Structure 1
Amino acid sequence: MSIKMIAVDMDGTFLNDQKEYNRERFDQIFQQMKEKDIKFVVASGNQYDQLRSFFPENHTEMSFVAENGANIVVEGKPYYNAKLAMSSVLATIEGINALDPIVNVACGKKSAYVSQAISEEVFKSVSFYYPSIKKLKRLEDVVQQEDEIFKFALTFPNVGIEEKLAALDEVLAGEMIPVSSGHGDIDLIIPGVHKANGLAKLCEQWGIAPDEIAAFGDSGNDIEMLEYAGASFAMANAQAKVKQAAKEVIESNNQDGVLTTMARLLS
């Protein structure tokens, strides 16, 4: 099988638990990929501004399926973004409030938004994943911002997540789809707007078939991507349902599992 695209999730997959990766080793592998004309795609639930910060020297030579596929940037240039009707934004906020999350982030093309009631400790934590972020008096005031909202990111205590997913399914009634992103975090995505959909848009642009993709992930928001790709790899630390969706389970994110497998695919 000829690989023409490698797509990687970041947290719990490409990054170790210290939010780092072996940069020297990756630079060598990335050079090989460029020589072989293999596309490197970062596919994550996180904000584009955060994701590109991990690749300061070469982010314009790769592509990003950010915000779980709601915001796609190709080699430094905006390519696609989804958009949620503001009536749906307000309905979603109302439904979320009933479940009392620790934090609720409205994610837009220009910025992420939170209520000013958030504690400074939680705000600092959220800002790591969403460096472009604004506090609003009420989150509902996001409709007054000149932005396009395409995702919500929630945090709950890291217990009973399956029950929270089920409760969100019931409350949101198909308006948004809840997916686990690990460690008590849940993303709400527009139906059909997920990582696999983002990869499909890039495949159409580049003339790449799904069976020419190698994808890596560890959480529920990676499942569609792993099922879409011809070669799919779940980390040893992945959720059980993610391992079931992948064709192979590899070393953990703390053991350079992604880079080791990428090197094997390129050999």
Structure 2
Amino acid sequence: MTIKLIAADMDGTFLDDHGEYDRGRFAEIYKALRKRGIQFVIASGHQAVELAQFFADFPDIWLIGGNGAELMNRDAGLSAETFSHTATDQVLKVLAAYPELQVALCGTHTVSVLQTANPVFVAQMRNYYYQVASVADFDQVTDPVVKFDLICAPEQTNQLLYELKPKLAEIAVPVSGGQGSMDLIQPGMHKGRALKRLGARLHIKPEEMVAFGDGTNDLEMLHYVKTGVAMQNAPANVKANATAVTGTNLDSGVLHYIEQHILKP
């Protein structure tokens, strides 16, 4: 069946370890994709408004932000599903029992951290997100929360995931972003769900989609599409859940796959 949509995770997948990609090569690929009527989608944990700035040279790209909670396009604007104030308060009460966790509240436009947060953590957040605000208390945050970004000691990650899952049941779902990092996302919210919403909007079936990912937060997306492609640098469990494996994020594995398997005559 003809491919009509390609979705790619960003960090560790589309981008190299310096947060860059081969811009000239992608510009040519993107032009060829659009000529064939193929949509290109970035699906990331980053905010959609931030993604829009990063890909400003490609304003008609579709963007999935907040690990599936946000959907954005230049013409369609931004739509976001956010935590209720009650749910946000409940999550913060659970997290208060874990002072070893560094917490950021990710809204649609601003990421909020406490003024008392570890400076190294704050620097990490400023390096990852465009708009970071320091607040005296999370009660001051007015931007609706899309997800929570948590940083912990790498060796504590698995144990914290194990403990937080039952404590946050039906409120939030902990998802590992790699050792030392996790997101708390809304129940049922993931990149696969966002692709389903976008597919319905664009009248594109999952069997007409290809998706690329390198992390466990990409699994639902890889499962939803007909062709789920894992990066060579992905963990073994991600590669085991994919239908194909391409090169690493360092050697433009996404672009190579598109050239060889989608655009090649």
Normalised TM-score (structure 1): 0.93
Indicate if the aligned counterparts of 2:114 and 2:135 stay in contact, CA closer than 8 A.
yes
Q: 2:182 & 2:75 partners in 1: Cα distance?
A: 27
Corresponding residue SS for 2:155: coil
Q: 2:236 & 2:159 partners in 1: Cα distance?
A: 16
Question: Following TM superposition, by how much is the alpha carbon of 1:259 offset from its aligned partner in structure 2, in angstroms?
Answer: 0.6
161, 167, 172: which one pairs with 1:171?
Answer: 167
Q: 1:21 & 1:139 partners in 2: Cα distance?
A: 35
1:202 aligns with 2:201: no
Q: 2:139 & 2:223 partners in 1: Cα distance?
A: 36
Give every structure 1 segment of 4 or more consecutive aligned residues whose post-TM-superposition deviation is greater than 6 Å: none
Please list the CA deviations of residues 18-37 of structure 1 after superposition, one character each: whole Å capped at 9, or x if unmatched: 11111111011000011011
Taking only the aligned residue pairs, the percentage that are identical comes to 34
Indicate if the aligned counterparts of 2:49 and 2:108 stay in contact, CA closer than 8 A.
no
Corresponding residue SS for 1:53: helix
1:93 aligns to what?
Answer: 92
Indicate if the aligned counterparts of 1:45 and 1:181 stay in contact, CA closer than 8 A.
no
Change (3 A) 1:31 1:183: farther
- Aligned positions, number: 263
Q: Which amino acid aligns with 1:227?
A: H
1:266 aligns to what?
Answer: 263
Please list the CA deviations of residues 140-168 of structure 1 after superposition, one character each: whole Å capped at 9, or x if unmatched: 432xx2x3212111111222422221111
Q: Which amino acid aligns with 1:135?
A: S
Structure 2: unaligned runs, 5 residues or longer:
none
2:61 aligns to what?
Answer: 62
Q: 2:50 & 2:165 partners in 1: Cα distance?
A: 28
Residues 140-159 of structure 1 aligned to structure 2 (within 5 Å): 140-142=139-141, 145=142, 147-159=143-155
Q: 1:184 & 1:10 partners in 2: Cα distance?
A: 19
1:84 aligns with 2:83: yes
Q: 1:103 & 1:50 partners in 2: Cα distance?
A: 22
Please list the CA deviations of residues 181-224 of structure 1 after superposition, one character each: whole Å capped at 9, or x if unmatched: 22421111111111111111110110000011100001111010
Change (3 A) 1:166 1:240: same
Moved more, 150-159 or 132-141: 132-141
Structure 1: unaligned runs, 5 residues or longer:
none
Question: Following TM superposition, by how much is the alpha carbon of 1:130 offset from its aligned partner in structure 2, in angstroms?
Answer: 1.9
Superposition CA RMSD, Å: 1.5
Corresponding residue SS for 1:192: coil
2:72 aligns to what?
Answer: 73
Change (3 A) 1:117 1:76: farther
Q: 1:76 & 1:187 partners in 2: Cα distance?
A: 29
Q: 2:102 & 2:94 partners in 1: Cα distance?
A: 14
